[in-house]
A and B are shown apart, each in its own frame.
Chain A
Amino acid sequence: NAGVTQTPKFRILKIGQSMTLQCTQDMNHNYMYWYRQDPGMGLKLIYYSVGAGITDKGEVPNGYNVSRSTTEDFPLRLELAAPSQTSVYFCAAKEEGDSDTQYFGPGTRLTVL
């Protein structure tokens, strides 16, 4: 049981390039999340999903897109990378219910130059 896995661990992009951050969970949790964390700051919600085929915007969705075709996978797409998107990206999964905890992946460190 690997929990939540993310790839790649590190990536350097040039301005204007695009990429997809992968996130997979093997816990069969319906809720999944993407966060970004800038240095010395808290986590900001980018997008979330309450089940396959359902996604919604979080606090900072601009410049990103997501899809949720299966319960397991929740990829995050950056179409035109900008230096402001330099950050650490965390994916998380959670069971339904108020009291359940979120389980995080190890993160992807992205630098846009």
Chain B
Amino acid sequence: RKEVEQDPGPFNVPEGATVAFNCTYSNSASQSFFWYRQDCRKEPKLLMSVYSSGNEDGRFTAQLNRASQYISLLIRDSKLSDSATYLCVVNNAGGFKTIFGAGTRLFVKA
């Protein structure tokens, strides 16, 4: 079983749609969690951290369920510029080792 698993997609959605991505992780000792965004042929960049209480940044909401070892990302009112690959990322205890999921591709169409 992979340490971090994501639905690879692609998700094809119209502008204005709400889309949700899921991610599961296998190491119950994992300490911190993130969503990164990667545009085509570019480096990954942090989108947002994920906290147990849930957190929101504009149109983006991230949730963490430690009991189920599950992370989610919700994008509301999708924009064309949201088209990218979204990577689920987990840090081990100590924070020095990071595991990246394979990513979920999103295409937002006009």
Looking at the assembled complex, report how far the CB atom of B8 sits from the nearest CB atom of chain A, in whole angstroms: 8
A48 & B95 in contact (Cβ 8 Å cutoff): no
Give B33-68 interface residues, CB cut-off 8 Å to A: 34, 42-46, 49
Query: Is B93 on the interface with A (CB-CB < 8 A)?
Result: yes
Looking at the assembled complex, report how far the CB atom of A45 sits from the nearest CB atom of chain B, in whole angstroms: 7
Which of A19-27, A68-76, A96-104 lies at the interface? A96-104
A98 & B98 in contact (Cβ 8 Å cutoff): no
A101 & B31 in contact (Cβ 8 Å cutoff): no
Across the interface, which residues of A come within 8 angstroms of B93, CB to CB? 98
Looking at the assembled complex, report how far the CB atom of A105 sits from the nearest CB atom of chain B, in whole angstroms: 6
A45 & B91 in contact (Cβ 8 Å cutoff): no
Number of A residues with CB within 8 Å of any CB on chain B: 23
Across the interface, which residues of B come within 8 angstroms of A105, CB to CB? 43
Task: Give A102's nearest chain B residue, CB to CB.
Answer: B98
Interface size grouping (class) on chain B:
20 to 34
Looking at the assembled complex, report how far the CB atom of B1 sits from the nearest CB atom of chain A, in whole angstroms: 14
Among the listed B32, B45, B100, B103, which residue makes an inter-chain contact with A98, where contact means beta carbons less than 8 Å apart?
A: B32
Among the listed A41, A50, A99, which residue makes an inter-chain contact with B49, where contact means beta carbons less than 8 Å apart?
A: A99
Across the interface, which residues of A come within 8 angstroms of B87, CB to CB? 42-43
Across the interface, which residues of B come within 8 angstroms of A33, CB to CB? 98
Looking at the assembled complex, report how far the CB atom of A91 sits from the nearest CB atom of chain B, in whole angstroms: 9
Complexed CA–CA distance, A104 and B41 (Å): 13
Across the interface, which residues of A come within 8 angstroms of B98, CB to CB? 33, 45, 94, 102
Across the interface, which residues of A come within 8 angstroms of B99, CB to CB? 45
Known: A42-B102, A45-B99, A94-B96. 4 other contacts (CB 8 A): A35-B100, A98-B94, A99-B95, A105-B43
**Could you write out 23 A-B pairs with CB less than 8 Å apart?**
A31-B95, A31-B96, A35-B100, A42-B87, A42-B101, A42-B102, A45-B97, A48-B96, A48-B97, A50-B96, A58-B97, A94-B95, A94-B96, A94-B98, A96-B96, A97-B95, A98-B94, A98-B95, A99-B32, A99-B95, A101-B49, A104-B43, A104-B44
Give 6 closest A-B pairs by Cβ, nearest first. A42-B102, A104-B43, A98-B95, A101-B46, A43-B100, A98-B32
